Amino acid sequence: MSRIALITGATSGIGKATAEAFANVGIDLILCGRRQDRLNELSVKLSQYVKTTTLLFDVRDYAAVSKAISSLPEDWQAVDILVNNAGNAHGLSAIQDGDVADWDAMIDGNVQGLLYVSKAVIPGMVARGRGHIVNLSSVAGKQTYANGAVYCASKKAVEAISEGMRLDLTQHGIKVTNIAPGAVETEFSLVRFKGDENRAAKVYEGFDPLLAEDIANAVVYAVNAPSRVTIADLTI
């Protein structure tokens, strides 16, 4: 019996790579994001291997999240795997110089967005007595760095939520995996620096950064572990 995975932030980076890795192992896909053209392109590509469907919403909008997920046809509603990947970093500055709009974007996307999507999916998992939630945290959730206080705080929140989910949901047969990537070369830094390509490129100078595929492989490993095994927390 094939499994169904719902992936947020599936249009680029780790989310897209995870979708591709899931397709390679026969997991059907609900691809979620804010760019319909990219969702359509990925859906067409991966539909050669598995069943796919798309949902267009911003994780920061609870009404949109609820409406989109509740609109899934009956044969798509039994979500086996939820990958909370959507998130963002905005700005890099000392706390006294921070932009409130940047703070709101990070807290709303990285924390509230994860909660909103989880709220829409978890009740079905509890009712079925099975499921697996993968939350994408960051090494920033384990160690704060200068000029990144609010981003780090948002990822520390993901770490706490993952731990709390595991305490609440294990009894219902639901696994929870927290994955904390280090520096991954994606659109992440381009978003953080408001499209400044030169500044974004400098983030990865002097070392060989991780690739989105490296994190996707870890997600596949976690969700394919035997039923007796939960990969609770993985730092990469």
DSSP string for residues in 36-98: HHHHHHHHHHHTTTS-EEEEE--TT-HHHHHHHHHTS-GGG----EEEE----------GGG-
Q: Is 204 a catalytic residue?
A: no
Question: Could you tell me what percent of the chain has a pLDDT over 90?
Answer: 85
pTM for the structure as a whole: 0.93
Q: Report whether pLDDT(190) > 80.
A: no
Read off the pLDDT of residues 133-146 as tens digits, 9 standing for 90 and up: 999 999 999 999 99
What pLDDT is attached to residue 205?
A: 79
Q: Which of 116, 151, 204, 221 is catalytic?
A: 151
